[in-house]
Amino acid sequence: MKNFLLSMFLMGTLIFSQNTASAAEQAETTTKAQQKSSTEKIEIIPSQASYTLAIIPTLDMSGMEEKERTVAKHAIQNALEQKYPKKTTKVRILSDKTVVDAVHRHPFENYDAPVLAELVAIGEDLKADRVIYLSLEPTKSEEDGFRIIVGTQTFASEVSMKMKCVDVKNKAYLFNQLVVKEGSSSAVSFWKFGGASKSRSVKKAVTSCMKEFLINIE
């Protein structure tokens, strides 16, 4: 009887391990396919142009926790640094303080939705050639998977960003869209060790939004 119970336990463990491995492989394949289609084909090319740029500090209305908000902020900054490398760029980027002071002099009627004329006014005040406005809209995050002892876990985050770039001289938008991207993070975890990360899924989604934006402006 003891040998029978032991055999049943070992068989159950083997089936569970096979199912776990299969689920993990499927999650990994799906994640890789999503990343390839959404981010790998897009690269940020450093700007070769020469102009003065005012970047309005990003408005964060995402509702994310502090950790994810920090990750999102860094992802935005990293993308901008790829577009405008400090050592080689010919673009003159005005300081945050200088831009914020101008916003105080020309406050928006609705900071979540500044209109073209308001952004042009900021640029004219600062004698900037272009103005960039970014906002993080409410973010959706979901967790999926199973974990008893060993299992798979996936976080998916949908990030929406209002993204605007204004040509001040011509009083025209170079880019004006609500960009929505999804990022995911999948992993196999053991008890409470390892596992997927909501922060990584947010980082991927924000990075995809920034790529969509920056590849469409010089």
DSSP string, 59-115: EE-----HHHHHHHHHHHHHHHHHHS-TTT---EEPPHHHHHHHHHHS--SSTTS--
Per-residue pLDDT, 27: 36
Per-residue pLDDT, 84: 97
Q: Which of 104, 98, 192, 108 is nearest to 149 (CA)?
A: 192
Per-residue pLDDT, 1: 47
- Strands 150-167 and 172-190 turn out to be antiparallel
Look up residue 108 and give its amino acid: F
In tens, the pLDDT along 72-86 reads 999 999 999 999 999
- Strands 52-55 and 130-136 turn out to be parallel
Alpha-carbon span 79 to 34, nearest angstrom: 20
- What parts of the chain have a pLDDT lower than 50? 1-39, 145-150, 188, 190-191, 193-194, 196
Task: Please measure the distance between the N-terminal and C-terminal CA atoms of the chain and give it in whole angstroms.
Answer: 75
Give domain limits for the chain.
24-214
Asked if 126 contacts 98 with a C-beta cutoff of 8 angstroms, the reply is yes
Per-residue pLDDT, 16: 33
Alpha-carbon span 200 to 186, nearest angstrom: 10
Per-residue pLDDT, 189: 55
Per-residue pLDDT, 139: 82
Per-residue pLDDT, 19: 40
CATH class of 24-214: alpha beta
Coil vs helix vs strand at 126? helix
